[in-house]
Homo-oligomer: A and B are copies of this chain.
């Protein structure tokens, strides 16, 4: 096996976040359920945007955020996702490349615009995401170069990609390329509603295709359809994989068979916007993991990166994370 060029290759929906503060009454008016990720079409995107206050735009996307975190920690990253040749596509590409993340997928030259995630941040720092996938829906197996995937130690995929068949096929192609080259595969379950939609497929992925799985409490309980976190952990142990379970202010637990590594949450002076907490936790964990650190230390790094991102508006690091660890 040749040395890896990249620590982590991320795959996900490429999109730009549009972030605005919103009272909960505004969520009610717009008919949006707080806290979750909602897939929306273009008409609904126009409607919600019209009902939002002034926004700030920042590159986003779950796996894109994770790769920005990897780079911010000093790691070597690559990203696969689809944008269009428009202004927001320029922004997305610039923001990854300017921090040294490889992003080589050809842009779409026709069809829907670059995807947007309309994020409403409530006064309690909770975020509600409304995702218009746009050009992101165009991701397909043609965008996967097996040699490129094989050049990364770990391929990391967001479960959100399961919403389109072509992206799903692209992910499976990437997983095959990774394993054929002796590399590792990982997935975040992304969102409890996403797990609801694809429970059977996600269960199969965890058992048969994945080496490292990221999930929060709601997601792992939904995956195994159990009522308590403890019951979910017992199911997770039986997978024999590295199961990374995040618990917000209760920290995180990593299990691998009988092994257990629990880490407390990093203290945060004031939680401003929880967008990106899980994404950046994955950055810290994978940064440590690809450097051969013990699982408990990987979890600690995840917590440090997550704590930074929830202390300000936006889902990407506000400072160089390498200065914090």
Contacts and interface: CB of A to CB of B under 8 A. Distances in A.
Interface in A75-116: 86-88, 91, 94-95, 98-99, 113-114
A54 B49 contact: no
Interface stretch (A56-64, A146-154, A159-167): A56-64
A55 interface: yes
A238 B53 CA distance: 44
A55 B94 contact: yes
Nearest to A94: B49
A316 interface: yes
Contacts of A113: 87
A98 B53 contact: yes
A314 interface: yes
Given A49-B94, A87-B88, A58 B56 contact: yes
A74 to B, nearest CB: 15
Nearest to A57: B57
A28 to B, nearest CB: 18
Number of copies of this protein chain within its complex: 2
Interface string A270-301: 00000000000000000000000000000000
Nearest to A90: B49
B53 A56 contact: no
A57 B91 contact: yes
A92 to B, nearest CB: 10
A215 interface: no
Given A86-B87, A94-B49, A113-B87, A68 B56 contact: no
Contact of A54 (B52, B68, B86): B68
B54 A95 contact: yes
A88 B87 CA distance: 7
Contacts of A59: 54
A56 B57 contact: yes
Given A49-B94, A54-B95, 11 more contacts: A50-B94, A54-B58, A54-B59, A54-B68, A54-B94, A55-B58, A55-B91, A55-B95, A56-B56, A56-B57, A57-B91
Interface of A: 49-50, 52-59, 68, 86-88, 91, 94-95, 98-99, 113-114, 314, 316
